[in-house]
Amino acid sequence: MPEILSADKTGLLKKASLLTISASTLAEQMRNGNFRSLYRGQGIEFDSVREYLNGDNVRAIDWNVTARMGKPFIKQYEEDRDLNVFFVLDRSASMFLGSDGKSRLECASEAAALLLLAASMNGSSVGAVFFDGKIRFSAPPKSGPEQQMLILSHLDELESSVENGSVLQGALAGATKLLRKRSLVFVISDFRSAGYQQNLARLAIKNDVVAIRITDPTDASLSEIGSLLFSDVESPLQMRLPTLSKKFKQTWLEENRRRVDKWSEHCIRHGIHPLQLSTTEDPALVLSRFFLRRAKR
């Protein structure tokens, strides 16, 4: 049975050094995936040089610096450095639920932290909007370690809110207005709110969007514990669920499958990349497999 879980006592900031190890791999995979066009614009103004990474265009190698340093360096243009990576993170009440000692929000926050660190390693500007029943944090894209730490610290401070509902629809509309240039946007949510679909599609018109659906085993199957009083954490709704009933269990499973299929179809129809991440999975491994698949397309 899902329960409201408290935040991980270790904290993302304390885990940062461990996350950085996985993030360095993701940084390279992000550059090699089919988002690489965002990283490899030819640029209009030479800015600096940096060390060569696997997958970089060999034509960008600065042979003079390479000979001087004894290892390959590439020319970096202003367009490369100004890539925006943006995060839309759901912290509504349903995200605090989990069934195996880890809440959806912990899973979502760890995934966001990994992607944030990876983007920063690639020299990207990063920004974010966090929301529940209200917009709780908003930062336009900006580069530098101060911005990275600002977003990480707010990820680390997320606590359960008394605000009911979710303003995913408004957060997506806000992100669309905030982003002035084409960006790579990660929308991380359980996507249980209503009315967001149109704004998600609009966000994808001028941006590359990855929709990360945070799931839990109870989405598809409830424990057999008899008659269960179910309370919706984001509304006054209450009902009794017959968890021992085979018909009910089949209906629960089919309804979840229908909901996920509808979400996935909507994403694909509008050029959005759908990705499911369970609370029982390692976010680093799931994200790594995702970028590796994109690199093969």
Distances (CA, A) of 253 to 32, 154, 204: 37, 35, 30
pLDDT the model gives residue 44: 41
Q: Do residues 82 and 74 lie in contact, with contact meaning Cβ atoms separated by under 8 Å?
A: no
pLDDT the model gives residue 41: 45
Q: Which domains does the chain have, with CATH numbers?
A: 3-37+81-295 (3.40.50.410), 40-78 (no CATH)
User: Tokens 């991380």 sit at which residue?
Assistant: 188
> Residues 188-214: pLDDT tens digits?
999 988 899 999 999 999 999 999 999
Q: Report CA Rg, the chain.
A: 21
Span 209-223, mean pLDDT?
Answer: 84
pLDDT the model gives residue 224: 55
- The residue type of 192 is R
User: Tokens 């759908």 sit at which residue?
Assistant: 274
> Residues 147-184: pLDDT tens digits?
999 999 998 876 655 456 679 999 999 999 999 888 99
pTM of the model: 0.77
Query: What does the alpha-carbon distance between residue 208 and residue 93 come to, in Å, rounded to a whole number?
Result: 28
Contacts of residue 232, Cβ cutoff 8 Å, sequence gap at least 6: 238
CA torsion, points 252, 159, 178, 40, in degrees to nearest 10? Answer: -80
Query: What does the alpha-carbon distance between residue 173 and residue 185 come to, in Å, rounded to a whole number?
Result: 13
H helices present in the chain, as ranges? 12-32, 36-39, 63-69, 78-81, 104-121, 145-156, 168-178, 197-203, 246-269, 283-295
> How long is the chain?
297
pLDDT at 245 over 70: no
Would you state the structure tokens that stand for residue 267, as one six-digit string? 């994403």
Which of 47, 82, 35 minimizes the C-alpha distance to 275?
A: 35
Would you state the structure tokens that stand for residue 218, as one six-digit string? 């109870």
- The string over 67-84, giving b where at least 16 C-beta atoms fall within 10 Å of a residue's C-beta and e elsewhere, is eeeeebbbbbbebbbbbb
> Residues 102-135: pLDDT tens digits?
899 999 999 999 999 999 998 899 999 999 889 9
> Residues 270-284: pLDDT tens digits?
999 999 999 999 999
Dihedral sign computed on CA atoms, order 126, 130, 16, 285:
negative
Distances (CA, A) of 212 to 112, 215, 285: 10, 9, 14
